[in-house]
Amino acid sequence: MADTTLTPERILEAAEEVLRRFGPGKATVVDVARVLGVSHGSVYRHFASKTALREAVADRWLDRVHADLPAVTAGTAPAAERLRSWLHTLHGTKRATALDDPELFATYVALVAEASTVIAASLDGLVAQLARIIADGVESGEFAVDDVPRSARAVFYATVRFHDPTHSAQWADPDIEQQLDAVCDLLLDGLRPR
Amino acid sequence: MADTTLTPERILEAAEEVLRRFGPGKATVVDVARVLGVSHGSVYRHFASKTALREAVADRWLDRVHADLPAVTAGTAPAAERLRSWLHTLHGTKRATALDDPELFATYVALVAEASTVIAASLDGLVAQLARIIADGVESGEFAVDDVPRSARAVFYATVRFHDPTHSAQWADPDIEQQLDAVCDLLLDGLRPR
């Protein structure tokens, strides 16, 4: 491949192919350059280090797993309905990804676990979406909350069983969605005015 | 040691000593018999299999970690206060155990993970304590809940970040107790009548 056609997008696709084929230990700049048939210098022109490349792959995967959430956040349904739907969407996508190909899921989870700044940014982004839904609910009178960001973070922490990959073994439970519904009921009651 | 002085208690103490010294792969009947200086037949008289012995050790450890909870459950404080105190007690004991000796904690966690019937019984026991506190709150008018066991289980699931060993790496966060308080506030508001 001529170096001139080498884009960050093309490099990231190759890195994902390497990960899929060889597991989380791989997908270094050298591995990816080999798959692309270019020098590793060409890859370094787009990603300054192995860490930068692996973080970009982790980030891209999280973006894909979370792709359906912004539309739920920005929807026009009542806030309570949107909040429940948002949590079920996050759980559903994570569960489908984990159960569909557990080995590839574990590979990406291991990659994400290395990338603490990517994790922190992703978490902040998700909590900001929850905060937006809760703020909408406060405005419409559905919810009464003193501190919206604190409640948003509490909702995120209270649902880790349903979205944190360390719990993926439990996502095959036949009643996992009923468990999430019971937690949603309690959290939504906690947000409502009294 | 004469076989006549061999009690289940003495065997379990020896098994814990073996675990502490040699890690989770050890603590088989043969290892424990060697430490006690008895034949493994003598140990089998009390524990029918390696699995039975390891399950008993796991059970004993969980009993120790959860030892302070029944007094909180049976206390006379208002139900909301007891529920918060129960969750902070569970988190506090788990966190202290994990941070005090992370390697030994990991050893016991690995042992517990093998013992699915022990885990299920322990979880049911903890949820039953939560259900008792919630039922007390319903009786006193502090809480209004349609289905007490369902709410008790939801409270347990909504707090896994603070008691499930898979989250132990987060328990060193300086604001972990404030995180638990934010979740408690939301859950308690969810249980209150409106």
In this structure, the answer to whether residues A105 and A170 fall within a common structural domain is: yes
CB-count exposure of residue A166 (10 Å: 0-12, 13-18, 19+)? middle
Residue A101, phi-psi category: left (phi > 0), alpha (psi -120 to 50), beta (remainder): beta
Longest pairwise C-alpha distance within chain B: 66
In this structure, the answer to whether residues A181 and A88 fall within a common structural domain is: yes
In this structure, the answer to whether residues A33 and A72 fall within a common structural domain is: no
Any domain includes B56? no
Any domain includes B103? yes
Shortest distance, CA B178 to any CA of chain A (angstroms): 10
Name the strand (E) or helix (H) holding B104.
helix B102-114
CATH number at residue A107: 1.10.357.10
| Closest of B58, B61, B57, B32 to residue B44, by C-alpha | B32
**pLDDT exceeds cutoff 70 at A94:** yes
Percent of chain A with pLDDT over 90: 90
Centroid of chain to Cα A166: 13
Nearest CA in chain A to B181: A154
Query: How many domains, in total, are found in chain A?
Result: 2
**pLDDT exceeds cutoff 90 at A86:** yes
In this structure, the answer to whether residues B109 and B169 fall within a common structural domain is: yes
Question: Residues A123-153: pLDDT tens digits?
Answer: 999 999 999 999 999 999 999 999 999 999 9
Any domain includes A55? no
Q: How much is the pLDDT for A27? A: 80
Q: How much is the pLDDT for B70? A: 98
Name the strand (E) or helix (H) holding A60.
helix A50-65
Q: How confident is the model at residue A75 (pLDDT cuts 50, 70, 90)?
A: very high
CA distance A150 to A22: 41
Contacts with B, A 164-183, CB within 8 Å: 164, 166-167, 179, 182-183
Reading the block at residue B35, the tokens are 């430490």
Q: Tell me if chain A has a CB within 8 Å of the CB of B151.
A: yes
Q: How much is the pLDDT for B22? A: 86
In this structure, the answer to whether residues B92 and B7 fall within a common structural domain is: no
Any domain includes B162? yes
Q: Which domain holds residue A35?
A: 3-48
Name which of A147, A151, A161 to mutate to probe chain B: the one with the most chain B Cβ atoms within 10 A of its Cβ: A161
CA distance A131 to B175: 20
Any domain includes B172? yes
Reading the block at residue A15, the tokens are 């890195």
Residue B110, phi-psi category: left (phi > 0), alpha (psi -120 to 50), beta (remainder): alpha
Q: How much is the pLDDT for B3? A: 53
Percent of chain A with pLDDT over 70: 98
Q: How confident is the model at residue A2 (pLDDT cuts 50, 70, 90)?
A: low
Name which of B160, B173, B192 to mutate to probe chain A: the one with the most chain A Cβ atoms within 10 A of its Cβ: B160
**pLDDT exceeds cutoff 90 at A67:** yes
Q: How much is the pLDDT for B14? A: 94
In this structure, the answer to whether residues B67 and B36 fall within a common structural domain is: no
**Which amino acid is it at B157?**
Y
Q: Tell me if chain A has a CB within 8 Å of the CB of B194.
A: yes
Reading the block at residue A158, the tokens are 């209270």
Any domain includes B136? yes
Residues 6 or more apart in contact with residue A115 via CB below 8 angstroms: A54, A55, A58, A59
Nearest CA in chain A to B189: A190
Q: How much is the pLDDT for B4? A: 61
In this structure, the answer to whether residues B26 and B104 fall within a common structural domain is: no
pLDDT tens digit at each of 194 positions of chain B = 555 689 999 999 999 999 988 888 878 888 899 999 999 999 999 999 989 999 999 999 999 999 999 999 999 999 999 999 999 999 999 999 999 999 999 999 999 999 999 999 999 999 999 999 999 999 999 999 999 999 999 999 999 999 999 999 999 999 999 999 999 999 999 999 98
Q: How confident is the model at residue A119 (pLDDT cuts 50, 70, 90)?
A: very high
In this structure, the answer to whether residues B91 and B168 fall within a common structural domain is: yes
Q: Tell me if chain A has a CB within 8 Å of the CB of B88.
A: no
Contact residues on chain A for B150, CB-CB shorter than 8 A = 182
Centroid of chain to Cα B186: 24
Does residue B2 sit in helix, strand or coil?
coil
Q: How much is the pLDDT for A4? A: 61
Any domain includes A136? yes
Residues 6 or more apart in contact with residue A81 via CB below 8 angstroms: none
In this structure, the answer to whether residues A37 and A73 fall within a common structural domain is: no
CATH number at residue A36: 1.10.10.60
In this structure, the answer to whether residues A67 and A39 fall within a common structural domain is: no
Q: How confident is the model at residue A22 (pLDDT cuts 50, 70, 90)?
A: confident
In this structure, the answer to whether residues B105 and B10 fall within a common structural domain is: no
Q: How confident is the model at residue A1 (pLDDT cuts 50, 70, 90)?
A: low
Any domain includes B130? yes
Number of H helices and number of E strands within chain B?
11, 0
Q: How much is the pLDDT for B1? A: 53
In this structure, the answer to whether residues B94 and B156 fall within a common structural domain is: yes
